[in-house]
Chain A
Amino acid sequence: MTDCFIYDAVRTPRGKGRASGSLHEVTALELATQVLEAVRDRNELDTSAVDDVVMGCVSPVNEQGSDIARIAALNADYAQSVSGVQVNRFCASGLEATNMAAAQIMSGQSDMTIGGGVESMSRVPMGSDGGAWATDPTIAFKSYFTPQGIGADLIATLYGFSRDDVDAYAVESQKRAKHSWDNGYFDKSVVPVKDVLGLTILDRDEHIRPETTMQSLAALEPSFAFMGEAAGFDEVAKQRYPEVEELVHVHHAGNSSGIVDGASAILLGNKEIGEKLGLKPRARIRAFSSIGSEPSIMLTGPEFVARKALKRAGMEAGDIDLYELNEAFAAVVLRFMQALDIDHGKINVNGGAIAMGHPLGATGAMILGTVLDELERTGKQTALATLCVGAGMGTATIIERV
């Protein structure tokens, strides 16, 4: 198998995913374009060397529809020979895109590819692409569909995480994110989003709330209690998990991932192309995996996919220096730490989506870049990035520095 190396990783800062957000006036195409341009310019890349651009996008309709990866490559003035494909693995789309792009290299079918993703959640709201799972009675019934917030609360209920536990995790995420920003840990990868005049629109994650405290979070009402009770989703969850007497609703806007706009890209290639183009490999992709897990609780996949990827890499959980698990909901991370016995000091050390937001299609490649920066900064070797995924899945990637 050919080794696949990461040569570069970039991301936009994340804008608040609503009409008042800084990136709302920037098209999804432009976000995707600017990260591709950054990859090209930072590496003085002859884009005709790129075989394929794989980009994750979760709501691929309207301006995000019809294969935004190819359209963005064209808009970024890549050589017309560069193909593009958009993929959807829900919240792990950005990481899945990276894995698929890496697979082309590892199988020897491509020399250089780009993985990444884009999501303008303010412009193309979540759910815009419909989907049979929740709506078509046949599958909704068969698979005990519940919205992901109910799944997160179910995790807290089953594994015993209290409101204080999840809120404390959220406060820490904010603290770590601020610390990382203040100390410039993200500077290497974040490329400011610019307007047509070349002026900067946003150069910093704007969802972050460093002033967050346990007290301020305590004032927030649980987000999914009403939906769980009034629409019957708690009952659906209990039918699937009949050992539960009542769901404990602990998640709210302050301990769940933020809705934001953003894009990311990772430059991948084999050893030869790097040498040929004079690029320095930063890390090797050691293994990756995706798995399916129980869809009703939906968000327990990271544990299982991490185990699978570790096994494929011939590693143990303890062999990983740093973990990055998307902070979809606090309980998802707490459960992962509990299941794999991971110290909080080794996971999401720079904060995560609770503080900085989760631009669905882009996040996977963002957190892979973040953890690579952190490995380099701290001189550590191995990292595992993973995300929980809609409909009960998980995707993970293990990298090691070279």
Chain B
Amino acid sequence: MTKMENFTIDVDGDGIALITWDMPGRSMNVLSPSSMADIGTWIKQVAEDDAIKGVVLTSGKPAFCAGAELGGMEKAASGDGAPKSEEERVRAMYENNLGFNKLLRTLETCGKPVAAAINGTALGGGLEVTLACHYRVASDNPKTQIGLPESKVGLLPGGGGTQRLPRLIGIANALPLILQGKSLDPQKAMAAGIVHKVVPQAELVDAAKAWIKSDADPVQPWDKKGFKVPGGGPYDKGVSSAFVMGNAMLRKTTQGNYPAQQYIMSCVYEGAQVPIDAGLRIEARYFTKLLMHPASKNMIRSLFLSMQELGKGARRPQGIERAPVKKLGILGAGMMGAGIAYVSAKAGIEVVLLDTDLANADKGKAYSEKLLDKAIERGRSTEEKKQELLSLIKPTTDYADLKDADLIVEAVFENRDIKAEVTKKSEPMLSTGGVFGSNTSTLPISGLATASVRPEMFIGIHFFSPVDKMGLVEIIMGEKTSDVALAKAIDYVGQIRKTPIVVNDSRGFYTSRCFGTYVSEGVAMLAEGIKPALIENAGKQTGMPVPPLAMSDEVALDLAYKVREQTRKDLGDKYEPTAVDGILEEMVIKRGRLGRKNGKGYYDYPEGGKKRLWPGLSEIVAEKDDQPEVEELKTRLLYIQALETARCFEEEVVTDVRDADVGAILGWGFAPYTGGPVSFIDTIGTANFVAECERLAQQYGPRFTPSKLLKEMAEKNETFYGRFNPKATAMAAE
């Protein structure tokens, strides 16, 4: 018998083979190529060995299996290196994807009963393996997650999940689970009909064996004559609406940008009308098509692989000892300060929340209390945890309370003088080697650092609002910021379980600067006489979370006006006025329309009603007769942001493609299906991107002029992931 790396077989006196999945050197089983090969090996043995009467499949890890190895997906998408025709390459990928499904078919048709003993989390490919078993019993751990989460990273369940789950629990029940990637605990999974039984962990394997000994039926329901999908097929009453409405809802939620969800619908729709073998072929085709789609490749890379790498400290300087923050000082107890206090205390860090006014500081602390009360209401926290967390936050007006803080973050007004003052007052309180961080979103760090007596320990730590929900922290290196300060900042971001990106100093740094172009472009469109509704719908269709004019209202128009005024002052003669300036002046100064905060901006905000675009916009700029195609607007909105990102590379504001892509998606919600602005350019191709920018520049102005770096890359046919490959850089450094 072939030796297996990842599974052991133990046949008991009753002829029941206990097959235990236990990958060496890993904390979790994954569906890797070697695991799949082993599964083939034991299936063959089970089928051929007459002494084996039945099978119990379980895991030797705390979890059953967390799914497929996403890192390998890219390889699966490109096939092996041999030069092949496009058709041969596609066929090879398809056959490869179908291969595992054929394997699972041999398992469920081997003629012997197979029970899955689900001892812990079974997700994605892990659950799919158990769905090819004839019986599923799970242990009663409420933390166990059972589900098919593939759609969350832009994939579809390619191991038979789109075929077996609907055949098991019905289309109307299965579709939402697969489309939303929701997981269930064992009790809920049993109620849904996914597992047959839930027992205490100690009885798990015995329960599985007991089922086998109970004259178990080794035939899947869908292999029985006359099988019908429970609840009916796509054209039966009650099911057809799941598709008719489901198709519309999907377009509503995805704007047609996410192929995974659409292909899942098609897999279920087409697959449920044919025998399972044909259904599995259909699934393998769509799975292959999806792997070839740039969206899934880009999403896996940015939302899974890069995010994981950054979270694990990929950007942390080597050779500096880890220094978790023990005592954190926060200057300014406004919305940002209060949010930072909450996430830090939640990570067990002692927090001093300082404000000029004690009532304000108390209010900042009360914010945590409010969030915790909500969490308790939803059963996600307890009174005890709340008290513990609150006890870590000390509101104060006394700088002496900051004594021995190893990190101070200022979150005061965006005003250089105030920031300089608090820096000077608080710095002496820092512990030896302590770091001072500024949560500014616009003011250059090097300038702020001039107020510091140790600018090498001065760094930008830019949070996003609302702090408790946004997963990104943008760390900004000033001219003099040291690696020690950077390491400390990254360690802190890790403590509060957020993803850090590291950028260099510039006006607006990376995220605010690029995001600003999106909003400005929307207002520029308005200035051209484009219908506001068309602008907003175009924004939505690009996959940005909030349309540009609505976003302007959220940020506040007077703030945008002030920032422009400041920039105008700072740049002097170099400032190039734009059409946006005129609109902002008209709105803010002449009309007093400041945005959502005063209930009047580009939108009206009727009390208790839905916001509507302000009809008066057409008085400010008349709508032109010849309105553009929505595609043109989408192009402008996405290109202007991606172009700014490219400029940030040129100016070395960003240096790592992962920072750029992950930062864009997590920081300002840049269309996630693109994988981020850098993946967006690479997918289009640098040369195509440059050509389109040149067209846009000619039509709409020099803000679209492609930068020197882009042109150079286009000439050499280089990609960002090729030229700025972080892995290649890391290897060269080693």
Interface residues of A (CB under 8 A from B): 130, 134-138, 140-141, 144-146, 231-233, 235-236, 238-239, 242-246
Within 8 A of A (CB), among B261-287: 262, 265-266, 269-270
CB distance B248 to A242 under 8 Å?
A: no
The closest CB in chain B to the CB of A229 belongs to B252
Closest to A237 in B: B248
| Contact A232 B269, CB 8 Å, known A135-B243, A246-B612 | no
With A136-B269, A137-B266 given, is the CB distance from A242 to B534 under 8 Å? Answer: yes
A242 with B252, Cβ < 8 A, contacts A137-B265, A141-B247 known: no
B571 at the interface (CB under 8 A from A): no
With a cutoff of 8 Å between Cβ atoms, the chain A residues found around residue B234 in the complex are: 135
B265: A residues at CB distance < 8 A: 137
Q: How far is the CA of A243 from the CA of B533 in the complex (A)?
A: 5
- In whole angstroms, what is the CA distance A287 to B217 when docked? 68
A242 to B244, CA, bound (A): 22
Which of B248, B536, B538, B613 lies in contact with A236, CB distance below 8 A?
Answer: B248
Since A135-B269, A138-B266, A140-B248 are in contact, a sample of 20 more A-B pairs with Cβ atoms closer than 8 Å, ordered by chain A residue number, is: A130-B235, A134-B243, A135-B234, A135-B240, A141-B247, A145-B247, A145-B248, A231-B245, A231-B249, A232-B249, A232-B250, A233-B248, A235-B248, A238-B537, A239-B255, A239-B541, A242-B538, A242-B630, A245-B536, A245-B613
Which of B244, B251, B532, B610 is close to A239, meaning CB atoms less than 8 Å apart?
Answer: B251
Give A245 to B240 CA distance when docked, in angstroms. 30
Contact assessment for B627 and A243 in the assembled complex, using a CB-CB cutoff below 8 Å? yes
- Of all chain B residues, which has the CB nearest A136? B269
Give the interface of B toward A (CB within 8 A): 234-235, 240, 243-253, 255-256, 262, 265-266, 269-270, 531-534, 536-538, 541, 610, 612-613, 627, 630
CB-contact partner of A141 in B262, B538, B541, under 8 A:
B262
Q: Find chain B residues with CB under 8 A from A232 CB.
A: 245, 248-253
Residues of A within 8 A of B256 (CB): 141, 239
List chain B residues, Cβ under 8 A from A235.
248, 251-252
A to B CB contacts below 8 Å, 29 in the list: A134-B243, A135-B234, A135-B235, A135-B240, A135-B243, A135-B269, A136-B243, A137-B250, A137-B265, A138-B266, A141-B247, A141-B250, A141-B251, A145-B244, A146-B248, A231-B249, A232-B245, A232-B249, A232-B252, A235-B248, A235-B251, A236-B252, A242-B537, A242-B538, A243-B627, A244-B533, A245-B533, A245-B612, A245-B613
Neighbouring A residues of B534 by C-beta, 8 Å: 242-243
The CA of A137 and the CA of B256, in the complex, are separated in Å by: 12
Q: Which residues of A contact B270 (CB under 8 A)?
A: 136
Majority DSSP secondary structure for residues of B touching A: helix
A231 to B613, CA, bound (A): 23
A235 to B255, CA, bound (A): 9
- Structural contact, B541 and A242, CB atoms closer than 8 A: yes
**Nearest chain A residue, comparing its CB with the CB of B535:** A242
B249 to chain A, nearest CB (A): 4
Q: Which residue of B lies closest to A131 (CB)?
A: B235
Q: Report the bound CA distance from A231 to B246 in whole Å.
A: 8
Q: Is the CB of A137 within 8 A of B531?
A: no
- Which residue in chain A gives the minimum CB-CB distance to B539? A242
Residue of B nearest to A139 (CB): B247
Chain A residues whose C-beta falls within 8 Å of the C-beta of B240 in the assembled complex: 130, 134-135
Residues of the B chain whose Cβ atoms lie less than 8 Å from the Cβ of A231: 245, 248-249
- Which residue of chain A is the closest to B251 with respect to CB atoms? A236
B244 x A140 contact (CB < 8 A): yes
List, in ascending order, chain B residues with CB within 8 A of A130's CB: 235, 240
Question: Which residues of chain B come closer than 8 Å to A239, judged between CB atoms?
Answer: 251, 255-256, 537, 541
Please give me the residue from chain B that is nearest to A133 by CB atom.
Answer: B244
Q: Is the CB of B536 within 8 A of A137?
A: no
- Contacts of A242 on B, CB cut-off 8 Å? 533-534, 537-538, 541, 630
Bound: A251/B677 CA distance, A: 44
How far is the CB of A158 from the nearest CB of chain B, in Å?
Answer: 11
**4 A-B pairs with the lowest CB-CB distances in the bound complex, closest first:** A242-B537, A232-B252, A137-B265, A245-B533
* Residues of chain A lying within 8 A (CB to CB) of residue B536: 245
Interchain CA distance A238-B248 in the complex, whole Å = 12
Contact B537 A137 (CB under 8 A): no
Are A137 and B612 within 8 A (Cβ)?
Answer: no
Contacts of B243 in A (CB 8 A): 134-137, 140
From A146, A231, A244, name the one whose CB has the most chain B CB atoms within 10 angstroms.
A231
* A243 and B531 within 8 A (CB): yes
Q: How far is the CA of A231 from the CA of B243 in the complex (A)?
A: 11
Interchain nearest-CB distance for A36 vs B (Å): 32
Distance between A208 CB and nearest chain B CB, rounded to angstroms: 32
Q: How far is the CA of A232 from the CA of B240 in the complex (A)?
A: 16
List the A side residues contacting B541 at CB < 8 Å.
Answer: 239, 242
CA distance A138 to B282 in the complex (A): 13
Nearest to B270 among chain A residues (CB) is A136
* Chain A residue at smallest Cβ distance from B533: A245
CB distance from B427 to the nearest CB of A (A): 51
| Inter-subunit contact A135/B244 (CB<8 Å) | yes
- Which residue on chain A has the smallest CB distance to residue B613? A245
Bound-state Cα–Cα, A29 to B262, Å: 41
Q: Which residues in B have their C-beta under 8 angstroms from that of A246?
A: 610, 612
In the bound complex, what is the Cα–Cα distance between A297 and B246 (angstroms)? 19
Q: For B538, what are the chain A residues with a Cβ–Cβ distance below 8 Å?
A: 242
- Quick one: closest B residue to A146, CB to CB? B248
Does B247 contact A137, Cβ atoms closer than 8 Å? yes
User: Closest CB of chain A to B406's CB: distance in Å?
Assistant: 50
A residues near B251, Cβ cutoff 8 Å: 141, 144, 232, 235-236, 239
Q: Which residue of chain A is the closest to B538 with respect to CB atoms?
A: A242
| Residues of chain A with a CB closer than 8 A to B532's CB | 245
Contact B247 A140 (CB under 8 A): yes
Question: With A and B bound together, what is the CA distance between A232 and B265 in angstroms?
Answer: 16
Highest count of chain B CB atoms <10 Å: which of A137, A146, A243: A137
Q: How far is the CB of A132 from chain B (nearest CB, A)?
A: 9
Assess the A137–B269 pair: CB atoms within 8 A: yes
Cα distance A137–B265 when bound, in Å? 6
A151 nearest CB across to chain B (Å): 13
Shortest CB-to-CB span from A138 to chain B, Å, is 6
Across the interface, name the chain B residue whose C-beta is closest to A235: B252
- Least Cβ distance of A159 to chain B in Å? 15
A-side contacts of B531, CB under 8 Å? 243
Of A135, A146, A242, A243, the most chain B CB neighbours within 10 A belong to: A242
Q: Which residues of A contact B250 (CB under 8 A)?
A: 137, 141, 232
Whether the Cβ atoms of A134 and B266 lie closer than 8 Å is no
Across the interface, which residues of B come within 8 angstroms of A236, CB to CB? 248, 251-252
Q: Which residue of B lies closest to A233 (CB)?
A: B248
CB of A365 to closest CB in B, whole Å: 29
Please, how many angstroms separate the alpha-carbon atoms of A144 and B630 in the complex?
Answer: 15
Question: How near does chain A come to B199, taking the closest CB pair, in angstroms?
Answer: 39
- What residues of B have a CB within 8 angstroms of the CB of A136 in the complex? 243, 266, 269-270
Q: Nearest chain-B residue to A231 (Cβ)?
A: B245
Q: Which residues of A contact B610 (CB under 8 A)?
A: 246
Query: Which B residue sits closest to A230, measured CB to CB?
Result: B245
Minimal Cβ-Cβ distance residue in B for A145 = B247
Docked pose: A239 CA to B254 CA in angstroms: 11
